[in-house]
A and B are shown apart, each in its own frame.
Chain A
Amino acid sequence: MHPILKLVIQRLALGLLLLLAISAVIFLGVEALPGDTAQAILGQSATPQALANLREQMGLNDPALTRYFHWLGGVVTGDLGKSLTNGTDIATAIGQRLGNTLFLAGCAAVIAVPLALTLGLIAARYAGKWPDKLISAVTLTTISLPEFVAAYFVIYLLTQVFPIFQPVAMVFPGMGFWAKLNAVALPVIVLVMVVLAHMMRMTRAAILNVMQSAYIETAELKGVPPMQVIWRHAFPNAIAPIVQVVVLNLAYLVVGVVVVEVVFGYNALGQYLVDHVTKRDLPVVQAVGLVFAAVYIGLNIFADVVAIIANPRLRHPK
């Protein structure tokens, strides 16, 4: 078997093991919350008799271990159960919301990643000169703005002063692709502003680090133009740390953008989770927690594999 393939399989297996451990942690965490699911459903109006009935009906009297494996069995077969608050099927709801989350994250990433890399390369090329300073100043300013402030600013500018876009970014099934793109324009702009600086600074730093190497000096001395030095010799050797940061930001775009979702009324996973935490709808909280964990682990595996492929020493171990 090709060593890379073997490595990917190994990592995936490790990831699954980790996910299993996380599922146990999530389950334990939810168990440790005061009150139980039956109490959460019945709320204020709970009478002892009704509580007992519901506990019996939901199997809450079984030992925790039995219930954990029952839940895990459901997860593996794609059955996440039903929401306590409105009885909808959790898997269906998450599926739709996750689609929206990925759409938003994807749009933001498609713009932010190439832009950040390009800006990072330019900043590294002109390190210490005005283009570098300008790029750093602008991106650091946008990352320093709290997300909701950036969001309000963008809403004001692009819906009131220049009415180009719509402030509310809801997307619905059946909307055309371009209509969807138009709807998410504002949150995408905000998210790009938020994640740009981190990736740009890392690109710049990683490349500058490599630029200290002897072979770069050799390339410069033999007269290779500066941009080509960076592109041909420095960038490929700086990929590993850059990919790590890019992936961290992608993970953030998927799991951490609830504030932006709320401000733009975007119907994605973050808001769904917060709504259900508020109502103590624990099966939903467990399920979404697991989805977020899976996204994080998956992206990190991806980063690891890319880093290894990019590094000849790791690619061809002795």
Chain B
Amino acid sequence: MSQELKYLLMQAAKGRISRRTFLGKAAAAGVTGAMANTLLARAARAEGPKKGGIIRAGMQGGESTNSLDPALAASEAPFMTNMTWGEMLVNVTPTGELDYRIAEEASSSADATEWTFKIRKGVEYHDGSTVTAEDVVATLKRHTDEKSQSGALGIVQGISDMKAEGDMVKLTLASANADLPYLMADYHLVIQPGGGVDKPDAGIGAGAYKVEVFEPGVRVGFTKHANYFDSNAGHADQVEILVINDNTARTAALQSGQVHMMNRVDPKIAALLKGATGVRIEAAAGKGHYVFIMRCDEPPFDNNDMRMALKYAINREEMVAKILGGLGSVGNDFPINSSYPLFDDTIEQRAYDPAKAKEYYDKSGHDGSPIILRTGNAAFPGAVDAANLFAASAQAAGIPLEVKLEPDDGYWSNVWNVAPFCASYWGGRPVQDQMYSTAYLSTADWNDTAFKNAAFDELLLAARGELDEAKRKEEYSKMAHILRDEGGLILPMFNDWVEGVRDEIAGWVNDPNQEMMNGLALSRCWLA
């Protein structure tokens, strides 16, 4: 490497010249863009995070109905808020391993029914008190209570007994679960003093930032938690979440520097933003997916030939290109992709095949009456366009698919999980077991495809308690095959998390778990 390039690199890492300037000069010196980026990332890491300043995030998905009670978080801004002030027992890293936070380690009995978490010593809450094992137990208990209306109720319900012993938390499960530590990373399970029973929305936690101002649906202002236990997080002095639900305003705020990062960049404008000064697009291949769901217990979808016909009648490549602007990957009619641990990548990819679709359609003996697909923009961005593309490709195969537009208001109560065939979306879950248990187990509340398959349920429960990874992977593969060939799920695409970040932000890591670096962008990034 030339002396000049080295010098430039150092300057860029220290933030004295912008990343863009560095890339330009590096290109002039004959270094490829990819190489220059790698060099810069390495140099920036070596230089170490810079402390201080204020970082602002513009977020879609916040309402004036939001609360600071971590149990009630459901949309994007409250999720990010929880991750910024709260600390869980563990997090999940971008590569799918456990990142121990309040728990220092976790171990289980041989049959995975009893789990022990060792609580890290001396972790301090924002109010100065210390995190104890009792707090952890009280927190989990609060989330198991129906009255708390916790979004994590389904996760903690399987814990039959919990107790604190010194700095240990012992959990006994009703049935074996080898994934339990991963479940503790759920963003609702913020450890609170006394479990947050007295005042759930006090906003006192052990995270890298403490809440200073909370205006629901408007903004959340944080200042650094001085005694945070981990020096690898909490670089800026202050961080702020601004709720900007309008796409255009959020993008303009990023471009004008009013915010440093934004979630949910519209795929249609991602390509345009790439050319904008001072801004870059970060696309993280994730676990979230856009789907069309058929209820397997309602005609004509109670006939597997009809389901197969529709699965072959959708053009996945076209959807990824036109709906996601290329920022995503094709799906294969089961909700798991390579972002998950123990994914079987040998399962054959299903493709658009009008001939096969016609064959299955004829075999189903459908009377030729229109098949109604309900859709609305509430389902996912571009759901109306996607449904129309689907209808066109199905009609080309001779299937009378018709699109019916539904209003956004009430979509999740009147259409989803009610109508026999509609558009919808799923965020991912940290592990396969949780994804399948949430929506494909016969008894699941959110079994929105009304999929009831005894063999599938049996495999799911067996895999849950299986500590041998090879066997487990095999079981998950079998389940994927069952769902792909018999389920009511049509999964054309996995969407990337597409986010806009200003060049002065360093430390960004793409994380497949959830958007905005799994909600940790504010506490892990710094101003270069």
Binding site for B on A (CB under 8 A): 42-45, 47, 50, 83, 85-88, 93, 152, 155-156, 159-160, 163, 166-168, 170, 172, 262-265, 267, 271-272, 275-276, 278-279, 281
Complex CA distance for A44 and B74, rounded to whole angstroms: 14
Known: A45-B146, A172-B213, A267-B217. A155 touches B249 (CB 8 A): yes
A275 to B218, CA, bound (A): 12
Residues of B within 8 A of A278 (CB): 63, 65, 409
Pairwise interchain contact B217-A271, C-beta atoms closer than 8 A: yes
B245 touches A262 (CB 8 A): yes
Contact A263:B64 (CB < 8 A) given known A166-B256, A271-B217: no
B104 is an interface residue with CB less than 8 A from chain A: no
Given A44-B445, A262-B246, 20 more A-B residue pairs with CB atoms under 8 Å apart are: A42-B149, A45-B149, A47-B146, A85-B65, A85-B66, A86-B67, A86-B201, A93-B64, A155-B248, A156-B252, A160-B255, A160-B256, A166-B258, A168-B58, A168-B244, A172-B215, A262-B245, A263-B248, A265-B244, A265-B246
In angstroms, how far is the closest chain B Cβ from the Cβ of A93? 8
- In the assembled complex, B219 has its CB within 8 A of some CB on chain A: yes
Determine if A170 and B409 form an interchain contact, defined as CB atoms under 8 angstroms apart: no
- How far apart sit A281 and B256, CA to CA, in the bound complex (Å)? 35
A85: chain B residues at CB < 8 Å are 65-67
Beta-carbon contact of B67 and A163 below 8 Å? no
Return A97 CB to nearest CB of chain B, in Å: 8
Check if A276 sits within 8 Å of B65, measured CB to CB: yes
Residue of B nearest to A152 (CB): B248
Contacts of A44 in B (CB 8 A): 445
Interface residues on B, range: 35 or more
Quick check: B253 and A167 within 8 Å, CB to CB? yes
Interface string of B424-436 (1 = CB under 8 A from A): 0000000000000
- Closest-by-CB residue of A relative to B408 is A278
B252 touches A159 (CB 8 A): yes
A167-B67 in contact (CB<8A): no
A/B interface sample: 20 pairs, CB < 8 A: A43-B149, A44-B445, A45-B146, A86-B69, A87-B67, A155-B252, A160-B255, A166-B253, A167-B256, A167-B258, A168-B252, A170-B218, A172-B219, A263-B248, A267-B218, A272-B64, A278-B63, A278-B65, A278-B409, A281-B65
- Cα distance, A262 to B245, chains bound together (Å): 7
A229 to chain B, nearest CB (A): 47
Cα distance A43–B413 when bound, in Å?
10
A163 and B153 CA atoms in complex are apart in Å by 48
Across the interface, do B216 and A86 meet the contact criterion of CB distance under 8 Å? Answer: yes
A163 contacts which of B65, B216, B256, B259 (Cβ < 8 Å)?
B256
B243 within 8 A of A: yes
Residues of A within 8 A of B153 (CB): 45
Tell me, yes or no, whether B242 is within 8 Å of chain A by CB. yes
B69, B245, B256: which contacts A265 (Cβ < 8 A)?
B245
**Of A45, A152, A170, A275, the contact of B64 (CB 8 Å cutoff):** A275
Decide if B372 is an interface residue (CB 8 Å cutoff): no
> Given the complex of chains A and B, what is the CA–CA distance between A271 and B66 in angstroms?
13
**Contact present for A279 and B244 (CB under 8 Å):** no
Q: Are A167 and B218 in contact (CB under 8 A)?
A: no
Task: Tell me the bound Cα distance from A267 to B244 in angstroms.
Answer: 10
Q: How far is the CA of A266 from the CA of B421 in the complex (A)?
A: 37
Selected contact of B258 from candidates A83, A168, A271, CB within 8 Å: A168
Question: How long is the Cα–Cα vector from A276 to B58 in the complex, in angstroms?
Answer: 22
- A residues near B243, Cβ cutoff 8 Å: 265
Docked Cα-Cα span, A263 to B58, in Å, equals 13
Query: Which chain A residue shows the least CB distance to B259?
Result: A168
A262–B258 Cα distance when bound, in Å, is: 17
User: Smallest distance from the beta carbon of A166 to chain B beta carbons, Å?
Assistant: 5
Q: Is B72 an interface residue (CB 8 A)?
A: yes
Partner of B246, one of A45, A166, A263, A279: A263
Most chain A CB within a 10 A radius of its CB, from B201, B217, B246, B255: B246
Chain A residues whose C-beta falls within 8 Å of the C-beta of B409 in the assembled complex: 278
- B143-154 interface bits toward A, Cβ cutoff 8 Å, 1 = contact, 0 = none: 000110100010
Which chain B positions have C-beta within 8 A of A279? 63, 65
Q: A275 CA to B63 CA in the complex, in Å?
A: 6
CB under 8 Å from chain A, chain B span 10-50:
none
* Cβ A167 vs Cβ B249 within 8 A: yes
Knowing A86-B216, A163-B256, A265-B244 are in contact, say whether A168-B249 is a contact too (CB < 8 A).
yes
